[in-house]
Amino acid sequence: MKLIIASNNAHKVREIEQIVGDYFTEMKTLREAGLEIDVVEDGTTFEENARKKAVEVLAAAPEFDAALADDSGLIVDALNGAPGVYSARYAGEGHDDAANNKKLLEDMDNVPEVLRTCRFASSIVLARRGMEPITVIGYAEGTLLREPRGENGFGYDPLFWYAPLNKTFAELTADEKNSVSHRSRSLALLKEALEAEKQ
């Protein structure tokens, strides 16, 4: 089964290859497949956005049997689930990680430690020709710090405190993060679903 990954993120692709690579005869990113497609992510949930991306990319890539897409972000309980699906553009269109983090810290300024619970979510959808898409979602639970820590990772990683390892996501090595991240958990769920189909 030939798979196109609806991403050009090398780190993401490596993680996908490590966890579910055995289920596909060939895997290519959008760039490797020579495909330029900009899917409008206007869904209200991570699942809706991931499904839309997977279905549209598969439709645009007839030489592939399946398309895998993910949508992820940060859910903060004290903000009623924000930034959520707007995680990448929380501070507005065209803003960067630093601006998003600054806005998040401002919005959480008066929230006490006990109420600063949050989680990263990653929804993955595998769209396949003539079959129902597989949809899974994985989470990583944490708390929101009041100032960034660590130089690794991206997005909200410097503010996301992961208690089991006593570090922020930005202080983890790539291998550490891959072992506990929301995306690794959703990919593990996808692997379980693919295994179940074989039985």
List the catalytic residues.
71
What is the C-alpha to C-alpha distance for residues 131 and 67, in angstroms, rounded to an integer? 12
The two three-digit tokens of residue 178, written as one number: 């891959």
SS3 content of the chain, % helix, strand, coil (to 5): 45, 25, 35
Residue type, 194: L
Render the burial of 62-88: b for 16+ CB within 10 Å, e for the rest: eebbbbbbbbbbbbbebbeebbbbebb
**Residue 99: C-alpha distances to residues 6, 155, 158, 188 (Å):** 26, 10, 13, 32
